[in-house]
Amino acid sequence: MIALGADHAGYEYKEKIKNLLQSLGMEYRDWGTDSTASTDYPDYAHKVAEIVASGKAEFGILVCGTGIGMSIVANKHKGVRAGNVESIEAAKYARLHNNANILAIGARLISWEQAKEIVKIFLQTKFEGGRHQQRVEKIHSLTNL
Ligand code: RB5
């Protein structure tokens, strides 16, 4: 299952991501927001990060204006590795090298066409492991997060 969240700035991309996931046959759950009315991104980022940290969702996707606020909040949760991604290349490496489990994107910074490819690549790329395994472990072992 993929957990989705967005604030007002990310709402429209989140709705499009739902259609994309449906067309890919991937299960998702939407944690809001449900309109373009102004709201606070931490509410959605905390919720989605909790779901990913608990293991109830394999991945989370968060959308706000820049992706920055969402990734800052999500990375405060134990076991979460959120990447704020603005290119297809970064989406690939966020999974390959960082084993990122949350994708944060900025709807005001990238086009829907870019966002769509970023989401697809993020979800389709597997962690490379090997030398990256201990690096990823150190992300958590050297903090309490
Ligand atoms: C909302 O205006 C904006 O600040 C928010 O969507 C996000 O970009 C925060 O990081």
What is the tens place of the pLDDT at every residue in 34-57? 999 999 999 999 999 999 999 999
| Residues recognised as catalytic | 64, 97
* 34-43: burial string, b at 16+ Cβ within 10 Å, e else: eeeeebebbe
Please give the pLDDT value at position 144: 84
Q: How far apart are CA 55 and CA 134, in angstroms?
A: 21
Query: Which stretch of DSSP H or E encloses residue 2?
Result: strand 2-6
Please give the pLDDT value at position 89: 98
Q: Which atom of ligand 1 lies at the shortest distance from residue 108's CA? A: 8
Please give the pLDDT value at position 111: 98
The alpha carbon of 5 and the centre of ligand 1 are apart by a number of angstroms equal to 13
The alpha carbon of 66 and the centre of ligand 1 are apart by a number of angstroms equal to 6
What's the chain's length in residues?
145
Fold of 2-144: Ribose 5-phosphate Isomerase B; Chain: A, (3.40.1400)
Residue-range domain boundaries for the chain: 2-144
- Best CA proximity match to 139, nearest among 94, 78, 96, 91: 78
Largest Cα–Cα distance of the chain, in whole Å? 45
* Residues of the chain predicted below pLDDT 50: none
The binding-site residues of ligand 1, defined as CB within 6 angstroms of any ligand atom, are 7, 9, 41, 64-66, 68-69
